[in-house]
Amino acid sequence: MKNMRLPAYPLITHDPYFSIWSFSDKLTDRWASHWTGSGTGFCGFIRVDSKTYRFCGDYKGVEAAEQLAVEVTPTRTIYTFKAGSVKLLLSFITPALPYNLDILSRPLTYLSFDIESLDAKAHDCSIYFDVSGEICVDNPGQSVLWGHHKLAGLRLMSFASADQKILARAGDNLRIEWGSAYFAVPDSSDTDCCINLNNTGRGSFASTGKLPDEDCINMPRTPQNGWITMAVAFKLGKVKKASRFMMVAYDDIFSVEYLNRKLPGYWKRNGKSFSSLIKEAASDYEKIKAECVKFDRELFSDCCAAGGKDYADLCAASYRQAVSAHKLVADLDGTPLFFSKENFSNGCIATVDVTYPSAPLFLLAAPALLKGMLIPILEYAETTRWKFNFAPHDLGTYPLANGQVYGGGEETEDNQMPVEECGNMLILAGTLEILCGDSDFISKYWKTLSKWAAYLKEKGYDPESQLCTDDFAGHLAHNTNLSLKAIIALGVYAEMASKRSMKSEAAAYRKIAASHAKKWLADAFEKDHYKLAFDQKDTWSQKYNLVWDRLLNLGLFPESVAETESAYYAKKLQKYGLPLDSRKTYTKLDWIVWTATLTGKKKDFDTLMNPLYKWIAETPSRVPITDWYETTDGKQVGFQARSVLGGVFIKLLEDKSLIKKWLKHK
């Protein structure tokens, strides 16, 4: 995706704490930021023939290099600059390879610097890059400790909060305040490292091409003196071509607390040390870089084939955001658990109705990660702490997954989403078996899944006044789209029962689902479309839940339902997309893509998707992609950097050969 304008560009994207973005078209227009918008200063200079140019950060007094291009692929963001007679390629490489959980879980991003002369002459070149201390604290007023280290041919620098508060707080708009951030570079005579005040180190290199002779020991933290930074300088000499790389990594010690046990990142599960990870990552650099290029090309090609280049661009822009809104940890027995965070929503962890829209990416590329999202919910529901006969909504507030907090927690049924979450869990469990062939997983939790199916059999068809995943719109009784979810979930349960040779159970639930589907067709229909709620005339809504009927070959609804709805939606389009329903003009990005996929016809898909592509390029809200925005003016309503963008990959699930191919991927 070259030179497609995005609301924000991913730079270092691993998890809800280690997630740094550029919120501007040019990397020199603003300082980089944590996904929350809190500043995380990155500064980069290139010095060519005694003249210094700035290629990263809004450092005053140094001329900005000319940004020629920016390209975003699933695992890389690549900037191209012109500085004097030299071209610089700066690549942020986050190897989130979905079929290699060891690599994906490494909290480490490579920065590569590739220089090439534009006039075939050799030029004297040096490169400088730094990061400020905000990377390891919640706010800039917190004190930071620092250090230098040497490790098997590598030079390291580290930052750590002076007051280590490991898993001490839970919330939404928070940054990490424990563990250590690292810069790591190959040890070489042409490489200098220094920890200093940013106005000192940056100023020294900008004017002389050199770092200060020694670290700044007395480091007052005042706005006048600036923030502490760790900096690397590569003195390349006279070159026509040159390449260097460095690594930015974060050791968070413990990542998530799950049912009162503190769990480390997945990469640590066999006792691996952080020093081992750094050494392996350095030695694997060329191999992993090549693997990222290969993966990016393959996924982009599949997305192009499924929905066209614009669709592939959207998928490329969504991939790292969807992955990095989670944390991959290892349970005590090594089981991978994949915890989501509701970024700028309410901060909940392991939210079922966030897992549901994000699932298509993981069904396609990493079913183990989808299982890692479902297991914590299923295990929690099977404890004595969960007292209801429907599925939980969440497991707490990130990073503490110790029990549901939404809607009053486990002690009350108020403000729960019983039909929503039961439907979500059954559909997702079923897709793991139907599309991915994972029967053992389903069998382990069959008793709990059966209990939720029984709940939907009784309560699902005509939901009482309750919330659904679109909870920002408030309670709604007789919700036809929620009813669709329940009907499809019962059909999925029948399929799972059939695979277990439970013939009578399968037949009974299939009969109920089919009967409810037939009744739905009559109760929800109004003239030329289907209503928002059974009892509300002159209303409509996106019936995105219907998509699973076709994708899973359930055959509960005639094709005419999707065709009728799609024709109606085309009449309701606004400048930047299809509103969620007749109540408001705002929309949800993920649901637009699901709704566009209802019929499987290219014309219907393009009709709904083209305004969305336009919105991506024109929205005035410069944040990691929001999934909740106004279709009239393109402004963000709420949410950003959320995992639900994994839902844009749903179009690829139409091709069952793709699913089989990715299941075999190595």
Q: Which residues contact 641 (CB under 8 A, 6 or more apart)?
A: 19, 21, 35, 321, 324, 325, 343, 344, 623, 624, 625
> What is the percent of the chain where pLDDT is above 70?
97
Q: Label residue 13 by pLDDT band (50, 70, 90).
A: very high
Distance, CA of 552 to CA of 247 (rounded, Å): 43
272 within domain boundaries: no
What are the tens digits of pLDDT across the range 363-410? 999 999 999 999 999 999 999 999 999 999 999 999 999 999 887 665
What are the tens digits of pLDDT across the range 67-115? 999 999 999 999 999 999 999 999 999 999 999 999 999 999 999 999 9
Mean pLDDT value across residues 420-441 = 96
Q: Between 177 and 226, name the one with better pLDDT.
A: 177
Distance, CA of 492 to CA of 479 (rounded, Å): 20
The answer to whether residues 244 and 327 belong to one domain is: no
HSE, side-chain direction, 13 A CA sphere, residue 71: 17
The answer to whether residues 236 and 303 belong to one domain is: no
The sign one gets for the Cα dihedral 117, 118, 121, 123 is negative
Q: Does residue 120 carry a pLDDT above 60?
A: yes
Average pLDDT, the chain: 95
265 within domain boundaries: no
Distance, CA of 388 to CA of 412 (rounded, Å): 9
Output the domain CATH number for residue 559: 1.50.10.10
277 within domain boundaries: no
The answer to whether residues 214 and 318 belong to one domain is: no
The answer to whether residues 197 and 314 belong to one domain is: no
User: Of 252, 277, 306, at which residue does a domain stop?
Assistant: 252
User: Of 252, 283, 300, at which residue does a domain stop?
Assistant: 252
What are the tens digits of pLDDT across the range 500-539? 999 999 999 999 999 999 999 999 999 999 999 999 999 9
496 within domain boundaries: yes
282 within domain boundaries: no
pLDDT of the residue at 222:
44
Mean pLDDT value across residues 475-496 = 97
Distance, CA of 453 to CA of 456 (rounded, Å): 5
Which residues share a beta bridge with 241? 116
The letter for the amino acid at 343 is N
> What is the percent of the chain where pLDDT is above 90?
91
pTM recorded for the entire structure: 0.97
The answer to whether residues 93 and 184 belong to one domain is: yes
pLDDT of the residue at 413:
67
619 within domain boundaries: yes
Distance, CA of 418 to CA of 416 (rounded, Å): 6
pLDDT of the residue at 291:
98
Domain enclosing residue 153, as ranges: 9-252
Output the domain CATH number for residue 144: 2.70.98
**Among 4, 6, 1, CA closest to 622:** 6
The answer to whether residues 115 and 219 belong to one domain is: yes
269 within domain boundaries: no
33 within domain boundaries: yes
What are the tens digits of pLDDT across the range 564-587? 999 999 999 999 999 999 999 999
The answer to whether residues 110 and 209 belong to one domain is: yes
pLDDT of the residue at 226:
63
pLDDT of the residue at 228:
87
pLDDT of the residue at 406:
84
User: Of 222, 252, 282, at which residue does a domain stop?
Assistant: 252
How many domains does one find in the chain? 2
The answer to whether residues 315 and 398 belong to one domain is: yes
Q: Label residue 411 by pLDDT band (50, 70, 90).
A: low
Q: Label residue 223 by pLDDT band (50, 70, 90).
A: very low
The answer to whether residues 237 and 327 belong to one domain is: no
Q: Does residue 66 carry a pLDDT above 50?
A: yes
pLDDT of the residue at 415:
79
Of the listed ranges 223-232, 278-287, 319-328, 419-428, the least confidently predicted one is: 223-232
The answer to whether residues 193 and 335 belong to one domain is: no
DSSP per residue, 147-191: EEEEETTEEEEEEEESS--TT----SS----SSEEEEEEE--TTE
pLDDT of the residue at 665:
82
The answer to whether residues 122 and 215 belong to one domain is: yes
The answer to whether residues 51 and 112 belong to one domain is: yes
**Among 229, 159, 169, 234, CA closest to 201:** 229
What are the tens digits of pLDDT across the range 431-484? 999 999 999 999 999 999 999 999 999 999 999 999 899 888 889 999 999 999
